[in-house]
Amino acid sequence: MKDVTKNSDAIDLDASAVALAYDGKNAPQIVAKGHGELAQDIIATAKEHGVLVHEDEELVKVLQRIELGTDIPKELYIIIAELIAFSYVLQGKFPEQWHNIHQRIDLKS
């Protein structure tokens, strides 16, 4: 997704955004999408609520083609799962059964 927060007064007509919802049980679902000012609003709302924003122009192009309220297709499960897992790590959230076997993540920071 394109981050358009650099100049909050300017409207980036090329901006695109897609918001996903994930409940931990079902496949992630498309809950919002838009271009231009609507995309900026989606990104701003996400940030206001502490939702991490990932920028990926190619992924947003694919997600834009999916109908609102629809689960992501199985072909996107791995990439979306990796993004969700990485967002948990960035927030310091780890599943109880998770083991840092390679000691590559400093859990004390």
pLDDT at 80: 95
Joined together, the tokens standing for residue 7 give 């100049």
Kindly tell me the sign of the dihedral angle through the C-alpha atoms of 63, 66, 69, 70.
Answer: negative
Which residues, 6 or more positions from 19, have their beta carbon under 8 angstroms from its beta carbon? 30, 31, 32, 33, 42, 46, 51
pLDDT at 50: 92
pLDDT at 7: 46
Residue 104 covered by a domain: no
pLDDT at 105: 58
Domain count, the chain: 1
Tell me the backbone φ, ψ of residue 44, rounded to 5 degrees: -60, -45
Q: Are 85 and 52 in contact (CB under 8 A)?
A: no
Residues found in the chain: 109
CATH number where 68 lies: 3.40.1690.10
pLDDT category of residue 36 using cuts at 50, 70 and 90: very high
Domain holding 58, by residue range, is: 16-98
Mean pLDDT of 32-43: 96
Joined together, the tokens standing for residue 37 give 């000012």
Report the predicted TM-score, pTM, of the whole model to 2 decimal places: 0.74
* pLDDT over threshold 50, residue 6: no
* pLDDT over threshold 90, residue 37: yes
Residue 8 covered by a domain: no
